[in-house]
Structure 1
Amino acid sequence: MPSIKPSELTAEQRSLDAHVRQLMAGLPAPFTSTDPDGALIGPFPVMLRFPGLARPLLEWFTAGTGASVLPARVREVAILTTGSRYAAAYELYSHSRVALDVGLPEDIIEGLVAGQRPAGMTAEETVAHDVAARLHSGAPLPGALYRAVVRAFGDSGTAELVFLVAQYAAISAILNAYDVPLPPDGD
């Protein structure tokens, strides 16, 4: 689905475009989110074409990131684990860069992108990976894993992690449904 030039956006799309750009401005790492014309890329051309569906999804994302109790590295482990399960290229591209920026080592990022459980993660990162991987297996969390995640992050952090995995599963589905390509600097 091609991007929409800013000059061609409807009023409703312009409002959503501005909201997305504000969200993107708060991310910790640079990755390409616009094309040479300044139009949003990634999942955003799809969202701009369906603003009534996209706005609630973006509000859900905003609600989950405002008062995060999860460390940034833990969040990125869960996001990359989710992206790898879906083979969502743009998600893996963008969040690999975010993960690197928040201090996740390259070898761990590469392992997560490859769908592995890399050695060298902290105990909290390992729990986040295991929760995300298990949720994508289509089965409930085993009692021992549930207790481990609650010990690591408390009830609020556990809920945040579960919702984060669900959010990025939704974004991955959108990216895959429309076969969103990588930008030229994607690897």
Structure 2
Amino acid sequence: MVIQSRLGPLTEDQMDDAQRAVLKDILSGPRGNLDGPFLAWIHSPELASRAQQLGAFCRYGTRLDPRLTELAILVTAAWWQSQAEWQIHEPIAREAGISDSVIRALRKQVVPEFQHDDERIVYRIGKALYKHRRVDETLYTEAVDAFGEAAVVELIGVFGYYALVAMTLNVFAVRRDTDSPLPFPEP
């Protein structure tokens, strides 16, 4: 798959030792590719190293069901209108169990009709974070009752990490070379 961005091309033979080491870590990890923000982050190997470790935890290591992690990622991608983040995670979310109707609603930025209470809570937390930059006491208590404190801490980490991913993808105009139309209108 071809990934495009506004960054200058960086081939392995142009990389310094630190960049090659991070590239090796990324390629040997659970992702196995330089997709998404890593195309940008590899230009700063220290950032790439730290961010990819956090990202691996947020995506693969939390107490959250992968379905809920992917929902949080799509909520974030929709909020930031991150084309590549959406293109990468929409099929993953579907495979993890997020319904087509929820995916369509998120892309259109309308409130989905959830069949699962845990999905509704994740959505509401994401919307509260992005709109108000806070989560009120009632929603916080509901989330802790549903997931436990540690999982709520991890969920906030997922939202934060994928906001960083969305900003990176948007600023550096990272795009997947696909024949599909972009999920969001360009500003």
- Give the TM-score normalised by structure 2: 0.84
Structure 2 residues without counterparts, runs of 5 or longer: 1-6, 182-187
Partner AA of 1:16 in structure 2: V
The aligned residue for residue 110 of structure 1 is 104
The aligned residue for residue 141 of structure 2 is 147
Q: For 1:82-121, list aligned pairs within 5 A.
A: 82-121=76-115
Task: Give the aligned length.
Answer: 174
The aligned residue for residue 73 of structure 1 is 67
- Tell me the SS of whatever aligns to 2:31: helix
Structure 1 residues without counterparts, runs of 5 or longer: 26-32, 34-39
Closer, same or farther: CA 141–47 of 1 in aligned 2, 3 Å = same
Q: State whether residues 90 and 180 of structure 1, in contact with CA within 8 Å, keep that contact through their aligned partners in structure 2.
A: yes
- Tell me the SS of whatever aligns to 2:174: coil
User: Could you tell me the percent identity over the aligned residues?
Assistant: 22
Closer, same or farther: CA 65–175 of 1 in aligned 2, 3 Å = closer
Q: For 1:106-185, list aligned pairs within 5 A.
A: 106-184=100-178
Q: What is the alpha-carbon distance in structure 2 between the residues aligned to residue 164 and residue 100 of structure 1?
A: 18
The aligned residue for residue 14 of structure 1 is 20
Range that drifts further, 95-104 or 114-123: 114-123
Indicate the structure whose relative CO is greater, using CA pairs within 8 Å and at least 6 residues apart.
Answer: 2
Match for residue 58 of structure 1 among 46, 52, 56: 52
CA root-mean-square deviation = 1.9
Q: What is the alpha-carbon distance in structure 2 between the residues aligned to residue 113 and residue 7 of structure 1?
A: 39
* Alpha-carbon distance, 1:145 to partner: 0.6
Closer, same or farther: CA 184–6 of 1 in aligned 2, 3 Å = farther
Q: What is the alpha-carbon distance in structure 1 between the residues aligned to residue 59 and residue 175 of structure 2?
A: 26
